Amino acid sequence: MNPHTIFLCTLLTFSLSIYGVSSGVTYTVVNEAANTPGGQKFTKLIGIPYTKEIMPKIHMFILNTILQQTNPADRKPIDTVEIFIRDVKGYEALTDINKINVSAVYLDLYQGDATRGDLKWEFTSLLYHEMTHVFQWTCVHTTRCNQKLIEGIADYTILKANYYPPPFAKPGTGDKWDQGYDFTARFLEYCDTLTPSFAAKLNKMMRYTYDDSYFKNLTGKPVQQLWKEYKAKYGQPV
């Protein structure tokens, strides 16, 4: 039996308009950890209705603002995004193609405070990151991809969405351009000031494979030179 069929009651379809182009995408949310402390927190403080409400909004933000895929042919052929709240530990969330697994243990242990947002805020931030993984290109025909850069693009989404937590890297910090996550997101933010829509163009080039030369193609400068100039701009040693 297909385990998903028992959750069809949670299925909700939105008809979305992207740059005037209609796109039907289905969003599902399943709380498989409803009997655990984290799963109960999810139900009480976040909930399936809220999650289904923000998924299409986050999707639109990623397509329009981050990836800027006005042409449907440029988009990943994803027609369903599935979220599972699972009783697992060891990670906050794990995305496999179009399936996002969120750890109920992480939700249970998360502590919001005056500087970090509450659990709902944290969950929303997490979805901005994970849903970027669903829709960004990750070099489909080759293993020659830069995983740290992929994480940097996902964190670039939360930076642009203004859903980044206070520990997020400050501009100019980090040891190398592909350190990943927030450090690489800040570097991408800098590259965007040199070449408009840099991150979107870079993502488009990463459809089948990746090479550091993409940075030179887009900005005229090798990535290491860009990194040096980025560090210098913020008075940071390389």
Give residues in contact with Zn ion (CB under 5 A). 151, 154
Nearer to Zn ion (CB atom), residue 23 or residue 103:
103
Nearer to Zn ion (CB atom), residue 104 or residue 154:
154
Which residues on adjacent β-strands are paired with residue 26? 13, 80
Least Å distance, CB 153 to Zn ion, is 9
Nearer to Zn ion (CB atom), residue 108 or residue 130:
130
Least Å distance, CB 179 to Zn ion, is 14
> Is the CB of residue 146 less than 8 Å from the CB of residue 194?
no
Nearer to Zn ion (CB atom), residue 151 or residue 178:
151
**Main-chain dihedrals φ then ψ at residue 163, nearest 5 degrees:** -120, 40
- State the chain's maximal CA–CA distance in angstroms: 60
Least Å distance, CB 131 to Zn ion, is 10
Least Å distance, CB 154 to Zn ion, is 5
**Which residues, at least 6 apart from 170, have a Cβ–Cβ distance to it below 8 Å?**
186
Nearer to Zn ion (CB atom), residue 180 or residue 231:
180
Nearer to Zn ion (CB atom), residue 23 or residue 83:
83
Least Å distance, CB 150 to Zn ion, is 7
Least Å distance, CB 12 to Zn ion, is 25
Least Å distance, CB 136 to Zn ion, is 10
Question: How is residue 72 annotated by DSSP?
Answer: G
Give the C-alpha distances (Å, rounded to integers) separating 112 from 11, 60, 82, 118, 150.
Answer: 30, 27, 26, 5, 27
Q: Decide: residue 134, CB within 10 A, 0-12 exposed, 13-18 middle, 19+ buried.
A: buried
Residue of 115, 124, 129, 119 lying closest to 165 (CA atoms): 115
Nearer to Zn ion (CB atom), residue 154 or residue 218:
154
- Rounded to whole angstroms, the Cα distance separating 120 from 14 reads 22
Please identify which residue in the block is written with the tokens 């290109």: 137
How many Cα atoms occupy the beta-carbon half-sphere of 36 within 13 Å?
Answer: 18
Q: Decide: residue 191, CB within 10 A, 0-12 exposed, 13-18 middle, 19+ buried.
A: buried
